[in-house]
């Protein structure tokens, strides 16, 4: 953490738009990481709505994801809006400027092509907090589950039919198929839309999405999933995620 605080302090100064603002920033520099993180998140919220909302989604996804997300998984998730019926490739953000709105709090790990928070101390800063950018973590989990389930309802697009330059970006199937239930389990269970999507996927969508079914069963039963493909029911899937057994029909 030795270089992180000075880095955030310098960023605070450089983001001031006038000499006067920089002078004032110098007088009120954060003295510890918690202050620096809080100040940076406040500046993120002061951006235009589109940028602050994008930053909120990015940081929430990174903090709450069940495993590190690849850059392409994050790009794909940001392109999906509630009510979408197919993946609109024109909604995928520009990779080069993806994290600019996060003011240095999110970075790309070049070795693994995953996105992460700038330092584990930011994870620790966010961990005890109930909210991320004014939205409860439970609601963020509901939003993430809804994004995954919305994606899983999209018609499959064979690789040969997808635009070649965007093939690598359509990489959300594995995460969406295997993690939606974990996010739903951690949600506040208040979104009727998310619950309806989950029920529709369990009792209708799986039959029409063999690839999603295969990915999920492989996660559930890694050593024997092929034999069980025809035997696992929606109840098994709900039990696997430890989620909402009582709310699902038998």
List, for residues 135-194, the tens digit of each pLDDT value: 999 999 999 999 999 999 888 654 434 444 444 556 788 999 999 999 998 998 766 889
Least Cα distance to 115 among 76, 142, 89 occurs for 76
Q: Which parts of the chain fold into alpha helices (H)?
A: 4-14, 19-27, 33-45, 49-64, 71-79, 120-126, 137-152, 173-185, 192-200, 210-220, 225-228, 234-241
**Separation CA 99–CA 93 (nearest Å):** 10
Per cent of the chain over pLDDT 70 is 68
28 pLDDT band (50/70/90 cuts)? low
**Separation CA 202–CA 196 (nearest Å):** 10
* 185 burial level (CB within 10 Å; 0-12, 13-18, 19+): middle
Least Cα distance to 66 among 245, 248, 243, 241 occurs for 241
Q: Give, for 206, the enclosing helix (H) or strand (E).
A: none
Asked if 149 and 179 touch (Cβ cutoff 8 Å), the reply is no
* pLDDT score at 145: 95
**Separation CA 107–CA 114 (nearest Å):** 9
* pLDDT score at 241: 78
pTM: 0.80
The 10s digit of each residue's pLDDT in 198-249 is 888 888 766 667 777 778 777 777 666 566 666 666 777 777 776 444 444 4
**Separation CA 14–CA 245 (nearest Å):** 52
The 10s digit of each residue's pLDDT in 29-82 is 455 667 777 888 888 998 999 999 999 999 999 999 999 999 999 999 999 999
Task: Quote the radius of gyration of the chain (alpha carbons, Å).
Answer: 20
**Separation CA 91–CA 40 (nearest Å):** 27
pLDDT at 10 over 60: no
Asked if 120 and 197 touch (Cβ cutoff 8 Å), the reply is no
**Separation CA 200–CA 223 (nearest Å):** 28
**Separation CA 188–CA 141 (nearest Å):** 8
């Amino acid at each position: 953490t030795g270089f992180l605080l000075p880095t955030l302090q310098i960023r605070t100064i450089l983001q001031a738009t006038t000499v006067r603002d920089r002078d004032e920033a110098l007088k009120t520099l954060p003295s510890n990481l918690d202050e620096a993180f809080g100040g940076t998140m406040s500046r993120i919220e002061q951006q235009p709505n589109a940028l602050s909302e994008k930053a909120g989604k990015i940081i929430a996804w990174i903090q709450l994801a069940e495993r590190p997300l690849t850059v392409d998984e994050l790009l794909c998730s940001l392109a999906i809006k509630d009510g979408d019926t197919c993946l609109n490739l024109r909604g995928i953000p520009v990779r080069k400027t993806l994290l600019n709105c996060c003011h240095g709090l999110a970075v790309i790990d070049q070795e693994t092509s995953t996105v992460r928070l700038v330092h584990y101390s930011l994870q620790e800063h966010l961990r005890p907090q109930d909210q991320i950018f004014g939205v409860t973590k439970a609601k963020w989990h509901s939003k993430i589950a809804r994004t995954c389930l919305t994606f899983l309802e999209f018609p499959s697009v064979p690789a040969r039919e997808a635009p070649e330059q965007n093939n690598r970006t359509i990489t959300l199937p594995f995460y969406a198929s295997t993690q939606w239930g974990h996010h739903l389990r951690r949600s506040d269970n208040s979104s009727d839309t998310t619950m309806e999507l989950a029920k529709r996927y369990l009792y209708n969508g799986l039959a029409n999405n063999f690839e999603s079914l295969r990915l999920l069963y492989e996660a559930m039963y890694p050593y024997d999933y092929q034999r069980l493909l025809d035997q696992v029911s929606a109840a098994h899937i709900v039990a696997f995620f430890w989620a909402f057994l009582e709310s699902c029909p038998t």
